[in-house]
Amino acid sequence: MSKLSHTDDKGKANMVDVGNKPDQIRTARAEGKIVLNPETVKLIRDNQMKKGDVLTIAEIAGIQGGKKTSELIPLCHPLQITKLDVEAELLKDGVIVKSFTKCIGKTGIEMEALTAVNIALLTIYDMCKAVDKEMEIGEIRLIEKNKTDL
């Protein structure tokens, strides 16, 4: 029986060996929110932020971040992502970001979904920090993850 641990016998960190696992269709959904002042929401809605279209740029940044997950998180396997969607929706009190990720592989894709949401939210924070000193990022969570045999 193989040992699926992140450390070897000497306590050194290692990636989990997933080589013997079958390829499966794997999906994950995540979401998170950034709370903004009403004035900031209005600036975003009216596309008046100095750095540009906040929601579109956040969505693109989230996609880029999700694709770089294995470079950002130690021991995270690089995956062949087949789909990565990020949606940023303006609310009356902020923005909710949702992601959907899909791959065919031996390990889950939830870290990519969560990373995409986090990077999108951080991008919104960066784009709005000059006008809003009270922003709060939170409620980041994995909504679901699934795997299906090929």
Helix (H) or strand (E) holding 137: strand 136-149
Greatest CA span in the chain, whole angstroms? 59
Q: Give the domains, in start order, of the chain with CATH numbers.
A: 24-149 (3.30.70.640)
- Over residues 129-139, the pLDDT tens digits come to 999 999 999 99
**Torsions phi, psi for 12 (to 5 deg):** -80, 145
> Tokens representing 92?
């009356």
Q: In DSSP terms, which residues pair with 13 in a beta bridge?
A: 7
Residue 1: pLDDT above 50?
Answer: no
Active-site residues: which are they?
A: 126
Q: How far is CA 11 from CA 6, 18, 91, in A?
A: 9, 19, 47
Decide: 149 and 26 in contact? Cβ < 8 Å: no
pTM (predicted TM-score): 0.91
pLDDT (average), residues 28-43: 98
Mean pLDDT, rounded, for 97-109: 97
What average pLDDT does the chain have?
94
- For 10-25, the pLDDT digits (tens) are 778 888 999 899 999 9
